[in-house]
Amino acid sequence: FLTLSKNDAIQQKTADLNKISLFIDISDQYPIAFKIIWALSFDHDIQQQLRSSRVFMNKLTLLKEECKNEKLRKIIFGILWNLEWKGLDRTISSEVNDGKTFDIMISYSHKDEFICKQIYEELTKNGYRVWIDFDQIHGNVMDAMAQAIERSKTILICMSEQYRRSNYCRAEAHYAFQRELKIVPILLQEHYQPDGWLLFLIGQLLYVDFTKYEFPRAMELLIQELKAPVIKETQLVTTQSRQDINSIVSLSHGLLIFPENIHEWTQIHVQNWLIGCTLRQMARLLYDFDGPSLHSLTELITNSNSQEILTLLQEDSLRRLNESISLLEFARLRTLLIEKQRLMEVKHEVKNNNSTFNIFHQCHMM
């Protein structure tokens, strides 16, 4: 189940059936349950279920302080990070607490360490200030990761199946997305096709395929991509040559099909909808929302005082993104959600009227 727990559909099903309590119950006897809980805790609904368990939260607090097992302690920090626990100590590692800033942070699975070391060395030769965790930081690894991201301008996402399966890598990538770092993906595993959370994160970006080119040529393309300006929504994409277009590949897999029922939307659907509506800040704030979560937010916005909702979102934005919420984006989000709900109600009413008409028509014909 450890591998399955990293699947978005499995996470949602676990949340819908409220089965997270099963893993909480066996966590004392089987420590691997904590690793499963960490993987599941990337889901918004499961986060709420975990926070509501006072016994489990107290257990995490105790283990954070007293656990002697270094690997388990890192997992505990990872769960608490996902739950945005306010009591998490901000003990900064000396490896990133020296005031330095970085041009690039390399985010990678340690199974790809050899080629990532080569990339690191080439980038530093070219004058880039690069942060990479070679020694696997001890202690509060999540805070060390956060500090590195906050002091970097660009994050290099080293894509492979092992990267997608890594909870550490997922946390890094999501936090970099929230902090609005420039994201540059590179492909390190031959024939690998990103899916799930990784596809959602970099689905519209260009990537450099290190499995297709010799290392020197791949590095040339990577440096070219690093030097390229961040494309804003109003900018046009320019290219230097036809060869460059073919060398850097797009991960877009065509238009995303949106289910008519918002409850069937995944996190990918919600993110694409928000970005498509030019709600960039909301996309970062609601990065772990799926359809049911968005529907719940619609209910709150529709039935509650707008100022109260804005205040709550402001608190979440400061905690999650460390920035004030845009009043313009909130107003637009509120309008779009209310319009969407009204449209769904109209469609439902029309469907019911058609059903009633069909029944009446059949009775009349009898």
Q: What's residue 93's pLDDT?
A: 46
**Per-residue pLDDT at 350 exceeds 70:** no
Q: Are residues 179 and 317 in the same domain?
A: no
For residues 121 and 299, what is the distance between their CA atoms, to the nearest angstrom? Answer: 52
- Laid out side by side, the sheet with 130-131 consists of 130-131, 102-107, 152-159, 182-187, 206-209, 248-250
Q: Is residue 92 part of a domain?
A: no
Most confident of 51-60, 151-160, 346-355: 151-160
pLDDT over 90, % of the chain: 28
Q: What's residue 330's pLDDT?
A: 87
Boundary residue ending a domain (216, 250, 284): 250
Confidence band, pLDDT 50/70/90 cuts, at residue 230: low
Sign, CA torsion 199/200/202/206: positive
- Mean residue pLDDT of the chain comes to 80
First-to-final CA distance of the chain: 56
Q: Are residues 138 and 191 in the same domain?
A: yes
Q: Is residue 180 part of a domain?
A: yes
Q: What's residue 221's pLDDT?
A: 93
Which of 197, 203, 189 shows the shortest CA–CA distance to 160?
Answer: 189
Q: Are residues 241 and 111 in the same domain?
A: yes
Q: Are residues 268 and 205 in the same domain?
A: no
Q: What's residue 237's pLDDT?
A: 37
Q: Are residues 129 and 215 in the same domain?
A: yes
Q: What's residue 137's pLDDT?
A: 53
Q: Are residues 304 and 191 in the same domain?
A: no
Q: Are residues 150 and 182 in the same domain?
A: yes
Q: Are residues 186 and 295 in the same domain?
A: no
Burial class (CB in 10 A: 0-12, 13-18, 19+), 234: exposed
Q: Is residue 95 part of a domain?
A: no
**Per-residue pLDDT at 155 exceeds 90:** yes
Q: What's residue 1's pLDDT?
A: 56
pLDDT in tens, 206-228: 889 999 999 999 999 999 999 88
Domain total in the chain? 3
Instruction: Quote the radius of gyration of the chain (alpha carbons, Å).
Output: 23
**Per-residue pLDDT at 173 exceeds 80:** yes
Q: Is residue 15 part of a domain?
A: yes
Residues whose CB falls within 8 Å of the CB of residue 267, separated by 6 or more in sequence, listed in order: 8, 197, 200, 287, 288, 289, 290
CB 309 within 8 A of CB 300: yes
Q: Say how far residue 91 (Cα) sits from the centre of its chain.
A: 24
- Against a cut of 0.75, is the pTM above it? no
Q: Are residues 111 and 155 in the same domain?
A: yes
Confidence band, pLDDT 50/70/90 cuts, at residue 346: low
Q: Tell me, what CATH number does 226's domain have? A: 3.40.50.10140
Domain around 211: 102-250
Boundary residue ending a domain (250, 276, 297): 250
Residues in the chain: 366
Q: Is residue 93 part of a domain?
A: no
Find the mean pLDDT for residues 323-335.
Answer: 86
Q: Is residue 89 part of a domain?
A: no
Longest dimension (CA), the chain: 86
138 vs 190, residue with greater confidence: 190
For residues 141 and 166, what is the distance between their CA atoms, to the nearest angstrom? Answer: 14
Q: What's residue 249's pLDDT?
A: 56
Boundary residue ending a domain (250, 279, 305): 250
Q: Are residues 16 and 113 in the same domain?
A: no
pLDDT in tens, 93-152: 444 455 689 999 999 998 999 999 999 999 999 999 999 987 655 556 788 888 899 999
* Residue that is written with structure tokens 């039935």 in the block: 303
Most confident of 29-43, 90-104, 117-131, 166-180: 117-131
* Residue that is written with structure tokens 């997608």 in the block: 164
Q: Are residues 119 and 241 in the same domain?
A: yes
Q: Are residues 151 and 226 in the same domain?
A: yes
pLDDT over 70, % of the chain: 78
Q: Is residue 362 part of a domain?
A: no
CB 321 within 8 A of CB 281: yes
Strands 130-131 and 102-107: parallel
Q: Is residue 302 part of a domain?
A: yes
